[in-house]
Structure 1
Amino acid sequence: MNFRTLGIVVVAALVVVAVAAGGLWAFGRLSYLDSYGSQYDYSVRVSADEPISNVTVLVPLPVSDGSSAVGDAVESREYLLPTGWAYDVVETEYGPMLRLRADEIPADPTYYRAVVENDRLVRWEPIPASEYSQNDSDTLRVEHDAIDLSADVRVNQSIDTLAPEGTEPLFEPRENARLVPCDWPSNSDDTRCYDYESMVFVQYDGPETTNVSVSVELRGANSWWVGGWNYNEYVDHVAVYDLPADRQGWVAADGELRTGVGNYPRNPPQ
């Protein structure tokens, strides 16, 4: 093989490699764009180490520009709540908050049967305990040793998880925020952690020895598929743990914000 022929072969091989690489890049980019999604996830948990009654708890909602889209989603969701439990969004001196009320915690278990229409589960219908069967997958037993609520809101634009302050929903109130070392290791140089002070409201009837814990969390995340699931997120968390019975009403709670978690590709969808 002479040098001219060898040169042609080398050039042809380089063209093939370039085309293949371009095809792989295009395929990866298409997979990235098709799978890319952004979502807020909100969760609340209230528990007590002894039975309590006449419970009212107010917890922060993620707020942006004075309103809470997540709060609207919580209000519109249907949950398997026992009789005497309720929730709604109320205005307070600290801004909009989620109010949870329960006749008692823990409450007796409740039982449900699946209602299926056109091969699709449409709701769970309450049934007497006598109609529940552990061996029947169409019936469900729900324990109520704590109040657990959650909501998720999908959005059609990328969430700013690097610097959510001022652009994304965050819990209010938030006072005396300060940058602190992160408690958990992170592979990203972009991760930042902040502590701040917030407020929750707790009121109930119960033994003087009771301890109540309240936690509320928001995750704002972007995720996509390229050779596996990838993501980035920020996490806002407010909690008060083992609150004694003599501390009721508005109480100070610890807030934590963690930003820049995950990996950050170039040119994300806007």
Structure 2
Amino acid sequence: MKSRTLGIVAVAVLLVVATIGGGLWAFGRLSFLNSYGSEYSYEVRVSANEPISNVTILAPLPVVDGDSPVADVIETREYLLPETWSYDVVETEYGPMLRLQADELPADPTYHRPVIENDRLVRWERVSADEYDQNDTDVVRVDHDAIELTADRTVNRSVETRAPEGTEPLFEPRSNVTAVPCAWPYEDDDVQCYSYDTQIFVSYDGPETTELSVTVELRGTNSWWVGGWNYNEYTDRVYVYDLPADQRGWVIVEGAAETGVGNYPRNLPQ
């Protein structure tokens, strides 16, 4: 009897475990499908170590099949953007690029007071520096020491993050593409890393001691929630730090790409 009873109990336990396991699997699968999303994120930052004027920068856009998926959703992070700054997309001999223009960079700080009507903010009113007091929260100081732009575009399919070449947007032009060792924290993972050469256009008036920095970054990401946020992505970066003033016009700069970052579950949504 005891053996039979133990057998029945064992079977019952296995059935309970199987039921719980199946429920957890189903819940996890549902959570995965409901939370799964894919997007491209694009960021540009331009700064200088001292004031410059008449600034024009042409920065690469991520392109696939001649088009950029983020070109029409670029926006500024600049709080209360100066009227003398502008940006647009232009065609160049190297394909579409983002053109940033500014009368001055860095510019002097500007000061603004909110205009409230019917308990709602309707606009910001610019005031003089004499009206600013750092202890007075009614007037805001804005430092314009860099141009920053960003763009985010969601897509209704999975992004190919392991092998984006040819199917996903990347920066152009790119030449001398070379596989390189991955730096921490990816040196022991299945991440693939590459370096390449590309070009940006730089024009400005300023001292010969000026050093300009331009960074451009693209991320193609898939993310989902199962017991916490998970993701995989590829990144493409173009960067030049402290570019000396004698390098203007079309300038060759470095690019770097990383593919296969993150984790890869089975049965990805299509």
TM-score using structure 2 length: 0.90
| Counterpart secondary structure, 2:143 | strand
Alignment of 1:151 onto 2:151: yes
Residue in structure 1 matched with residue 62 of structure 2 by the alignment: 62
Residue in structure 2 matched with residue 243 of structure 1 by the alignment: 243
Residue in structure 2 matched with residue 98 of structure 1 by the alignment: 98
Change (3 A) 1:173 1:109: same
Residue in structure 2 matched with residue 257 of structure 1 by the alignment: 257
State the distance in 1 between where 2:212 and 2:78 align. Answer: 25
Change (3 A) 1:188 1:28: farther
| Counterpart secondary structure, 1:80 | coil
Deviation at 1:223, TM superposition (A): 1.1
Unpaired segments of 5 or more residues in structure 1? none
Residue in structure 2 matched with residue 212 of structure 1 by the alignment: 212
CA displacement, residues 170-197 of structure 1 (integer Å, 9 cap, x when unaligned):
0000111111111223277320000111
Q: Is the 8 A contact 1:113 1:124 kept in 2?
A: no
Change (3 A) 1:75 1:193: same
% identical equivalent positions = 69
| Counterpart secondary structure, 2:109 | strand
State the distance in 2 between where 1:125 and 1:134 align. Answer: 21
Q: Is the 8 A contact 1:212 1:244 kept in 2?
A: yes
Deviation at 1:5, TM superposition (A): 2.4
Give the letter aligned to residue 123 of structure 2.
E
Map 1:1-270 to 2 at 5 A: 1-74=1-74, 80-111=80-111, 125-129=123-127, 140-186=140-186, 189-270=189-270
Unpaired segments of 5 or more residues in structure 2? none
Q: Is the 8 A contact 2:196 2:254 kept in 1?
A: yes
State the distance in 2 between where 1:210 and 1:43 align. Answer: 23
State the distance in 1 between where 2:158 and 2:150 align. Answer: 22
Q: Is the 8 A contact 1:38 1:158 kept in 2?
A: yes
State the distance in 1 between where 2:207 and 2:220 align. Answer: 38
Deviation at 1:242, TM superposition (A): 1.3
Please identify, of 131-140 and 44-53, the stretch whose mean Cα deviation from structure 2 is larger.
131-140
Give the letter aligned to residue 107 of structure 1.
A
CA displacement, residues 206-243 of structure 1 (integer Å, 9 cap, x when unaligned):
00111111110001111111111111111100012211
Change (3 A) 1:248 1:224: same
Q: Is the 8 A contact 2:75 2:150 kept in 1?
A: no
TM-score using structure 1 length: 0.90
Change (3 A) 1:188 1:172: same
| Counterpart secondary structure, 2:65 | coil
RMSD value, Cα: 2.6
Give the letter aligned to residue 32 of structure 1.
F
Give the letter aligned to residue 209 of structure 1.
T
CA displacement, residues 19-69 of structure 1 (integer Å, 9 cap, x when unaligned):
000111111111111111111111111111110000000000000110012
Q: Is the 8 A contact 2:41 2:152 kept in 1?
A: yes
| Counterpart secondary structure, 2:25 | helix
